[in-house]
Each structure stands twice: as structure tokens, then as C-alpha cells.
Amino acid sequence: MSDVLWELQPATAAKHQLYKRYLDAWWPIMLQPTQRGYLRPRVTYLDAFAGPGRYLGGEEGSPIFVLDRLLHHTAVERMQLRRDRVRLIFTENDRARFEHLSAELVARFGDLDALPVTVIVRHGDAARLTIPLLSEFGAWLHPILAVFDSWGNVNIPLSPVITSIARNQSSEVIVTFGPNWFSRREGEDPDQLDDVFGGREFWSPSDPSQDTDERWRNWLATYRAALRRAGFAHQLQFMVVPRTGQPLNLVFGTNHESGVEAIKDAMWKVDGSDGMRFLDPRVRGAVPIGQLDLFSSEGMVDPELLELVRQHLTDKPLTTLEELGKWLLLETARWRAMHAKGAVQHLHGEGQVVIEPSGRITKASTVRLLKGA
């Protein structure tokens, strides 16, 4: 690995596909006039761990493809790009990578001051720069999407950084965690975990008797709880699993159901043909079939979906189809309300649940887990 550029890892490539799809949806939602004709005066995208803008094999880094896709978006004519309206902020701590990124941006897009959007590239520590930069560029009180894509070598303090974004209107965060992130921190520097979770009382060391997966499950649940305390109504956790190589964990915080829908849409749109998939970290041992295609084989229901529905019914043995659908949407990594019916029908066919009244299944149908199922 060179000091400045490095090889694109399969998990990063998979994550990039997700970012592309999500941002393709996010920009027009934020920038087009609303149905009532309201035009948001400002929208800010922040990539706090921006990287050098390129990988060793020539692949584009996130700042390059994000800006490129915005400028060439199919809805660009309707998005009313203006420099005072649309701002992209990139921070990078490593001097050589920062310089590489600055040069890549100019080589690719020409004079940044001549672009129809404002692009800010700063050298420095994300944890320290995020709040001052968001203030300097007038981001508060308007939508912000902040991506914290570190290798796990740095923490973003829950307070004030994540908390301020969570409490800002229509704002979202995406935080990634590489393998071993939490276990490394725990041994080396518990103070950093205090920052990440907002205090020593909100986390406890891993149980050494647990296996790695179980520890991850607990850490991610702890981080989800931290995002909730920070003020995000919805927090999705999921694992990006490439065909080869290490998986990557990602947590998404939003205050809007539409944000949850949008990130799930992005997941389902990502082409699974290269073998990547998204998993819900709370599922133990389910082997997902195929890629992202739920009913890839006729009549088959994804084992992950079934396990999650069973888990929910174990906690809540009597529920309605509507409530189950809502839970799938808001609490699970990739499933949506529409998936509830197929799962329940499958469990019914296996004699694991009772659905009442019998006959046509509707939103109001109740679903009951049979004892011992």
C-alpha cells in the first residue's frame, strides 16, 4: 500500500455502490421544489473522512463520484444547483491525501470556483473540524447528510458532533465501522469509547466468553442506542458483505421514515451480481439465499427475513400484520413493510403461526406465534 493511495477493498466497493444509489435519491429529494413549491435554501453534504479521491487501481474515491453524479444527475435541470444553495464539504487529516484529493478534484472538474455548487476541501481532523465547518458554511437549520467513513482510527464524538446533526432538521448520518473497531478501542483507549457513546455509563466491555459476531452485535446495538440518545428517531444497522474479504458495518441515522425507505431502496437497487449482500447483524446464523433478490427462487423466503420475524414474534407473540411491517421497515436492516405478508404466510404454512381471521390476509390480520414453534 502506498502512503497516499491504497487498493480498493471489496467491502469499500460494495459500500460505494450503496452510497451512489442513496445519493442519487437524496439529492433530488432535497433539491427539487417540494410538491407545494418550496425550495430549500441550502443543502449540505459532508464527507468527513474524504480520502485521496482515488484508489491504486484508478477507481474513484467517494468525493469524486459523489460530485460527478450530482453534476450529471438525470434530474439536474430540476435541482436548481447554485453555489449558495448546495455545498459539499470534504475533510482529510493526512496532508498528502488532502493534496491528492484537491488535485484530483481540479483535474476532474476544473476550477472549483466555477462549478454550480460550492466544494470545500479542508485539511484536518474530522472530529475537530465538523462543527466549525458546518457553522462557517451556514449548514445549520437546513438539511445535512454527514458521512463518517473512517477506518476506525478516529472517533466522532457523540456530543456535540452527532447530537448537533441529529437535532438539526432533515439531517442524517452514515457511520462506518471496520472489523475489530470496538475491540481495539476498548483495549487501547476507553476514553475514546466514552466520546463515541456519550459517557462511560453507556457502554460496557465485551464479554470475552462471547464469539466475535456476538460482540459485534452488542457493540452495534450500543451504537444504535447512542444514535437514539443523540436524537435520531430511526437508526438502521447493517453489514455490507462483499463476495470476498472482510465485511464492513454501517449505521444510518435519520429522523424520517422516508429516509429509511430511501436507504432501503438503495440497498435493493444495488446489483448483487458481484456477490455482495447486506445483512442484518442481529441475525444469528441465517444463510441468505441469492443476492438481494428476495424471492429469487419461486416460493422461497429469505431465511434472514424469517428469523427476524420469528425474533419479533418471540418478543411480541401477538401482533398485527401492519405492526410487523412497520417493525420490519424501521428496525431491520433491509426489510420493508411489504415483506411481512410473505414471511407470515410462509410461517403459517410451516405451522409456526396462527393468522386470524382466516381467509384473506389484511393489514389488520393478527399473527400469533405458536408455543414451541
If one asks whether residue 51 binds ligand SAM (CB under 6 A), the answer comes out as yes
> By CB under 6 A, is residue 249 in contact with ligand SAM?
no
Piece of the chain touching ligand SAM by CB under 6 A; list 130-138, 148-156, 338-346, 355-363: 148-156
Shortest distance, position 63 Cβ to ligand SAM, whole Å: 7
Contact between 44 and ligand SAM per CB under 6 A: no
295 binds ligand SAM (CB under 6 A): no
Among 97, 217, 224, 334, binds ligand SAM (CB under 6 A): 97
Does 154 engage in binding with ligand SAM (CB under 6 A)?
A: yes
Q: Which of 126, 139, 305, 324 binds ligand SAM (CB under 6 A)?
A: 126
Q: Which stretch binds ligand SAM (CB under 6 A): 32-40, 42-50, 110-118, 310-318?
A: 42-50
151 binds ligand SAM (CB under 6 A): yes
Using an 8 Å Cβ cutoff, are 110 and 155 in contact? no
Residue count at the site for ligand SAM (CB under 6 A)?
18
- Closest contact distance (angstroms) between CB of 348 and ligand SAM is 44
| Residue 153 engages ligand SAM in binding (rule: CB under 6 A) | yes
Least distance CB 98 / ligand SAM (angstroms)? 8
The verdict on 105 binding ligand SAM (CB under 6 A) reads no
Least distance in angstroms from the C-beta of 93 to ligand SAM: 3
Interface with ligand SAM, residue 125, by CB under 6 A: yes
Which residues, numbered 60-79, are part of the site for ligand SAM (CB under 6 A)? 61-62
CB atoms within 10 A of CB 287: 8
Query: Which of these, 75, 82, 98, lies nearest to 41 by C-alpha position?
Result: 82
What is the closest distance, in whole angstroms, from the C-beta atom of residue 150 to ligand SAM in the complex?
5
Are residues 249 and 216 in contact, defined by beta-carbon separation less than 8 angstroms? Answer: yes
Which of residues 92, 172, 195, 302 is near ligand SAM by CB under 6 A?
92
Told to check if 365 binds ligand SAM by CB under 6 A, we report no
Nearer to ligand SAM, 9 or 345 (CB): 9
Does residue 246 touch ligand SAM according to CB under 6 A? no
Output 252 or 335, the one with its CB closest to ligand SAM: 252
The answer to whether 7 contacts ligand SAM (rule: CB under 6 A) is: no
Place of cell 468525493: 63
Tell me which residues touch ligand SAM (CB under 6 A): 47, 49-51, 61-62, 91-94, 97, 125-126, 149-151, 153-154
